Amino acid sequence: MRNATMPKIQKKQQGVAAIEFALVITLLLTVCFAIVSFGMLMWAQQKVSHIAGDSARVALQQSIQGNTGFVDAACTHAKTMAAADFILGGLVDLNDPSKNKVDCLPDFVSCAWDATQSCLSLTMTVTVDGLPLVNMVQAVGNIFSNNTDGWVPEKLSATSVVKITEL
């Protein structure tokens, strides 16, 4: 026996799968985009930490060799490494320092383990505005909320400390 009402029900269901797919794929792509964007920020933070540590080692090596400009050498090394980096490269302009979004802040401090000794504290700070995907994350955040403060950090920073033998 054939049911005469079956074709009417099927006609009412046409296109429902496409609408459900459009709703689900939008949410899925938003989540994937957020994961990739925040992963990129974590990668950038790791890069900043690596550059700060490597630049502090450069300062230590230069001070051991007797170079009195070891602080400038460390900061130059930091900015050169940031300029050569895939992610951070767009934030550094070695020819025009006013356009730099990467800062190197050296400071002489007492060593934490012995206050009588001198240490160099080298802090790398990167303003994330201008990193790939960051502006897009902020735009997507504006869709969901008018207050996007705290969605994405404004700056990434890392500090590295080395003991300087002689000043």
Report pLDDT digits (tens) over 8-27: 666 667 788 888 999 999 88
The count of domains in the chain is 1
pLDDT tens by residue, 58-93: 999 999 888 889 999 999 999 889 888 888 887 777
**pLDDT, mean of residues 21-35:** 88
Q: pTM of this prediction?
A: 0.77
Answer whether residue 1 is part of any domain.
Answer: no
Q: Quote the mean pLDDT of the chain.
A: 82
**pLDDT, mean of residues 41-47:** 89
Answer whether residue 139 is part of any domain.
Answer: yes
**Residues paired with 125 in a beta bridge:** 103, 157
> How would you write the chain as a 3-class SS string?
CCCCCHHHHHHHHCCHHHHHHHHHHHHHHHHHHHHHHHHHHHHHHHHHHHHHHHHHHHHHHHHHCCCCCHHHHHHHHHHHHHHHCCCHHHHCCCCCHHHCCEEEEEEEEECCCCCCCEEEEEEEEEECCCCCCHHHHHHHHHHHCCCCCCCCCCEEEEEEEEECCCC
Predicted confidence at residue 95, as pLDDT, reads: 74
Predicted confidence at residue 57, as pLDDT, reads: 94
Answer whether residue 69 is part of any domain.
Answer: yes
Is the pLDDT reported for residue 141 higher than 80? Answer: no
Answer whether residue 18 is part of any domain.
Answer: yes
Answer whether residue 44 is part of any domain.
Answer: yes
Is the pLDDT reported for residue 162 higher than 80? Answer: yes
Q: Of the spans 25-29, 126-130, 144-148, which averages the highest pLDDT?
A: 25-29
The residue range of the domain holding 30 is: 6-163
Answer whether residue 76 is part of any domain.
Answer: yes
106, 70 Cβ separation under 8 angstroms = no
